[in-house]
Chain A
Amino acid sequence: MIKMKKIEKIYGTGTAKVEALRGIDLDIKKNEFFGLIGPSGSGKSTLMNIIGCLDVPTSGEYYFEEKDIKSFNHNQLAEIRNEKIGFVFQNFNLLPYATTFENVEIPMIFKGARAKERKARTMELLDAVGLAGRAHHKPSELSGGEMQRVAIARALANNPSLILADEPTGNLDTKSGDEILAIFENLWKQGHTLVVITHNPNISKRAQKVVKLKDGSIENNNR
């Protein structure tokens, strides 16, 4: 599903130059639960953004579902993010003015789905994450765990094959974190591919494969 060769990412130039990624080779199979760990500043988020087609590498090759990412234009990348990838962020990144329902619905609006379909799918997803009763609440009225569940429902809106999570439990207490973990495991069982950045040992324990980054390079490739 994901194949990376010698991926490098360099921020800035001259003295301000930061080599965030220094030659990453990565192979993530379909329906894998993939953990990404490493100290702060090691390049985890940078790698995640590249996997998620939010950013492009400075050099190297990246194939998403066998297709070279370089061959896609702006709009095509947006389509991939919209339909094939679901993002879950540490700080949730919900739209503050929109309700739970609307936050989940928006990716389907970008896709151009019909209102009836959107409504049914949104309710189905909210049901799945146990928030059907909170459909008309604003993010500010939800707890952290609830917000993250909304974010997961949103990530699943267009039924993507790949789910990317950047420290999804980083801002949550243990109980909420465990709930999120349970949802992730469930998704994995349903056939989704998961890439999760985490400091949470509970999560990395469950992952099939864990890669540790250090100073922009993969340190060991255990399990």
Chain B
Amino acid sequence: MKAYYIFRMFYRELKIQRKRITLTIFALAWGTFSIVVLLAFGEGLNRQMMKATHGLGEGIVFIYSGQTSKPYKGLGKGRRIFLREEDIDLLRNRIPRIELISPENDRSSNTMIYGRKTITERVIGVFPSFGEMRKYYPERGSRFINSLDLKNKKRVIFLGNDLKDKLFGPEEAVGKSIMVNSIPFLVIGVMKDKLQNSMYNGPDSQKAAIPFTTYQAIYGDKYLDRLIYKPSDVTQSESVKKEVYRILAEKYKFDPDDTQALNVWDMVEEEELMTKIFFGIEIFMSIIGSLTLIVAGVGVANIMYVSAKRRTKEIGIKMAIGAKKKHVLLQFISEALMIAFIGGAGGVLGSFLLVELFKFVPLEGFVADLLAHPVISVDIMILTALILGIIGFLAGIFPARKAASQNPVEALRYE
């Protein structure tokens, strides 16, 4: 049938059943609104959480000392296992699948002086590769530790942004000299601000990094506090981890199946867990939103039943002049879809508005960083459109089939 007539009849229904249709459209809009907004905030939280987790680094693995829990080749359990500097080269040479690797040693309570300002903060000694793995990205016009610094044991220092603010305030830090435990260091870089929720020994923004060689020249640590590496292919993370463990087990003579001998912290595993949790949350929210929409869908079906009943005579006339079942079906289904569409469009528009307006709300702090970044993703839109389409179709098909299967004579007699 012609689209024009369908619109005309829909418009007439709209006038006759105004209250009922308005209420249902509102219910549909509300359902759509809540589902889109819930998912938008969920998605925003998910993305911010991921970003915050990634603030520590992506696909990286930490290894630090542990204690054996199984006897091995005549050695008793309870032995402490420490990592050493030479393990870096050992792993790098034996496992080409390791792309980046760095030791990290640290000391807290280092006195740092600039001008008349004195603070006490943590200093870490690392390789240049640490910067990329751990996202110690330099601000514009500054840099992280490089291989020359490392080779020449240079007294250069890279400052976390919060630490820099404490020591320098708004003043430019790069190129300035500061005293760290009475030793002069040249500031080469300041870390770009980042979102971070996974951490050890405090946020990175409050630490200062120096070349590992320089660190050792000052402190001469016997063991590594921890070792960080990143496999070139994240999908091989598991097997690389096994190989690292096997090689270290061989060197330090512990059972490679003894998971306590060395502590391993795998960010890949952590991310997978987070992804699963958020998937669960999204499903939960989708179900809540969908239920609202289904209730609204019942309203649409009700409207269509009333409308079909009232239009019995009209359907009879149409049948008498040659309307087929499909013509009647089409009319009712398109009307139900139109109602669903109008309600859905209203809800989507409302949620877009809310999400856009949210960008203007000044919110500060870590929690706001996580919660106040709603994102309306294509997935959400497709999901909503799909649910609304199904609701419209189902709400239309049943009354329509009833209307279309009437006896034309009976329908004509209806008053």
Chain A residues near B (Cβ < 8 Å): 49, 52, 54-55, 74-75, 78-79, 81-83, 87, 89, 93-98, 102, 106-107, 109-111, 154-155, 157-158
Interface contact A93-B317, CB-CB below 8 Å: yes
Residue ID in chain A nearest B319 by CB atoms: A78
Interface contact A95-B320, CB-CB below 8 Å: no
What's the least CB distance linking A101 to chain B, in Å? 12
What 7 new A-B contacts, CB under 8 Å, besides A54-B409, A89-B412, A110-B321? Answer: A54-B319, A78-B325, A81-B322, A107-B322, A110-B327, A111-B322, A157-B321
Residue ID in chain A nearest B9 by CB atoms: A97
In this complex, how many residues of chain B approach chain A with their Cβ under 8 Å: the count is: 23
User: Which of B314, B318, B323, B407 is in CB contact (< 8 Å) with A55?
Assistant: B407
Contacts of B409 in A (CB 8 A): 49, 54-55
4 A-B pairs with the lowest CB-CB distances in the bound complex, closest first: A82-B322, A78-B324, A110-B322, A107-B321
Interface contact B5-A109, CB-CB below 8 Å: yes
Interface contact B408-A54, CB-CB below 8 Å: yes
**Chain A binding surface SS class:** helix
Interface contact A154-B321, CB-CB below 8 Å: yes
Contacts of B2 in A (CB 8 A): 109
Interface contact B321-A81, CB-CB below 8 Å: yes
A102-B5 in contact given A49-B409, A75-B325 (Cβ < 8 Å): yes
What's the least CB distance linking A166 to chain B, in Å? 10
Asked if B367 lies at the interface with its beta carbon under 8 angstroms from chain A, I say: no
Contacts of B313 in A (CB 8 A): 93
**Cα separation A51 to B2 with both chains bound (whole Å):** 29
Chain B residues near A (Cβ < 8 Å): 1-2, 5, 8-9, 12, 313-314, 316-325, 327, 407-409, 412
What's the least CB distance linking A140 to chain B, in Å? 13
A95-B408 in contact given A54-B319, A82-B321 (Cβ < 8 Å): no
Contacts of A158 in B (CB 8 A): 322
**Chain B binding surface SS class:** helix
Interface contact A93-B12, CB-CB below 8 Å: no
15 sample A-B contacts, Cβ–Cβ < 8 Å, listed by A number: A54-B320, A74-B325, A78-B324, A78-B325, A81-B321, A87-B321, A93-B313, A93-B412, A95-B314, A106-B318, A106-B321, A107-B321, A110-B1, A111-B322, A157-B321
What's the least CB distance linking A104 to chain B, in Å? 10
Contacts of A54 in B (CB 8 A): 319-320, 408-409, 412
Contacts of B412 in A (CB 8 A): 54, 89, 93
**Cα separation A157 to B318 with both chains bound (whole Å):** 14
A75-B324 in contact given A97-B12, A109-B5 (Cβ < 8 Å): yes
What's the least CB distance linking A73 to chain B, in Å? 10
Contacts of B408 in A (CB 8 A): 54-55
What's the least CB distance linking A195 to chain B, in Å? 15
Residue ID in chain A nearest B1 by CB atoms: A109
User: Which of A79, A93, A95 is in CB contact (< 8 Å) with B322?
Assistant: A79
Residue ID in chain A nearest B324 by CB atoms: A78
Contacts of A95 in B (CB 8 A): 314, 317-318
* Highest count of chain A CB atoms <10 Å: which of B319, B321, B324, B327: B321
Interface contact B324-A97, CB-CB below 8 Å: no
Contacts of A81 in B (CB 8 A): 319-322
What's the least CB distance linking B18 to chain A, in Å? 15
User: Which of A79, A87, A96, A102 is in CB contact (< 8 Å) with B320?
Assistant: A87
**Cα separation A95 to B323 with both chains bound (whole Å):** 13
**Cα separation A37 to B302 with both chains bound (whole Å):** 44
Contacts of A111 in B (CB 8 A): 322
**Cα separation A78 to B322 with both chains bound (whole Å):** 5
**Cα separation A52 to B321 with both chains bound (whole Å):** 10
Contacts of A83 in B (CB 8 A): 322
**Cα separation A49 to B410 with both chains bound (whole Å):** 11
**Cα separation A107 to B8 with both chains bound (whole Å):** 17
Interface contact A98-B320, CB-CB below 8 Å: no
Residue ID in chain B nearest A102 by CB atoms: B5
Residue ID in chain B nearest A52 by CB atoms: B320
Contacts of B325 in A (CB 8 A): 74-75, 78
What's the least CB distance linking B103 to chain A, in Å? 80
Residue ID in chain B nearest A82 by CB atoms: B322
What's the least CB distance linking A204 to chain B, in Å? 24
**Cα separation A107 to B324 with both chains bound (whole Å):** 11
Contacts of A49 in B (CB 8 A): 409
Interface contact A93-B5, CB-CB below 8 Å: no
Residue ID in chain B nearest A93 by CB atoms: B317
* Highest count of chain A CB atoms <10 Å: which of B12, B313, B412: B412
Residue ID in chain B nearest A46 by CB atoms: B409
